Amino acid sequence: MYKVNVIIKRRPKILDPQGKAVEQGAKMLGFSNINGTRIGKFIEFFVNTDDREIADKEIKEYCEKLLANPIMEDFEYSVEEVK
Amino acid sequence: MYKVNVIIKRRPKILDPQGKAVEQGAKMLGFSNINGTRIGKFIEFFVNTDDREIADKEIKEYCEKLLANPIMEDFEYSVEEVK
C-alpha cells in the first residue's frame, strides 16, 4: 500500500481571488508584511496495491481526472510505502 | 524576505465530505485501489521582513486568525529565505 500526498497549485499566471480576499482581510487586521498569498489544495489518500507502477498510473489519472483542474492547475505528488 | 508554505489539514477525527465525494466519483470511474482521500489546503505567501522572529510571529498569527479554522483544522508550515 502507498500513501500519497498531492499538492495542487493554480498556474502562476492565473489569478487567485480567494488568496487576494484572505490577504485583504490580513491587511485590515494589521499584517503589513504578508503578500502574494495563493491558496491551493493539499490532498492525501492511499493506494491499495503493492505494485508501484500500477500505483503511479492510478495516482496520475486520479489527479488529472478528479483532483486537479487541468485548465488552471498544476499538480505534484510524493509517494511513500506503508504497511 | 521569506517564502512560506503552509499545509492545512482537517483533524483526523473530523469527517471530510469533500474528500468522500471525490472518492465516490473515483470509484464510479473505476479507480478501485484509491481510498482514504482527504482534502486540505496548501497556501503560499511571502513575509516581507528579514527578522526571522518577526516573520514567525506573523506567520503563526496569520495561520491562526485567517488561514486555518482552529476548531477543525491543524496547520504546519515551512519557511525559506529568499532575496
Q: How many domains are contained in chain B?
A: 1
Average pLDDT rounded to a whole number, residues A34-42: 96
Residue numbers of the domain that contains A59: 2-81
At residue B9, the 3 state secondary structure works out as strand
At residue A36 the predicted structure's pLDDT band, cuts being 50, 70 and 90, is very high
- Asked if residue B73 lies in contact with residue B6, where contact means CB atoms within 8 angstroms, the answer is no
Interface residue B40 vs chain A (CB under 8 A)? yes
Of the candidates B58, B69, B83, the residue with the CA atom closest to the CA atom of residue B16: B69
- Best of A20, A42, A50, A75 to substitute, by most chain B Cβ atoms within 10 angstroms, is A42
- Asked if residue B35 lies in contact with residue B23, where contact means CB atoms within 8 angstroms, the answer is yes
Is B45 within 8 Å of A62 when comparing Cβ atoms?
no
Q: Is the dihedral of CA B46, B47, B52, B58 positive or negative?
A: negative
Interface residue B22 vs chain A (CB under 8 A)? yes
CA distances to A1, A20, A22, A25, B16 from A16, rounded to whole Å, are 35, 6, 10, 15, 24
Please tell me the distance from the alpha carbon of residue A48 to that of residue A18, in angstroms, as a whole number.
34
Exposed, middle or buried, A6 (CB in 10 Å: 0-12/13-18/19+)?
buried
pLDDT for the residue A58: 95
Question: pLDDT tens-digit profile of A50-68?
Answer: 999 999 999 999 999 999 9
CATH code assigned at A48: 3.30.1280.10
Average pLDDT rounded to a whole number, residues A16-45: 95
Average pLDDT rounded to a whole number, residues A5-13: 96
Average pLDDT rounded to a whole number, residues B48-63: 95
| Residue of chain B nearest A21, judged by CA positions | B66
Is B33 within 8 Å of A47 when comparing Cβ atoms?
yes
For residue A34, give the nearest of B9, B19, B58 by CB distance.
B58
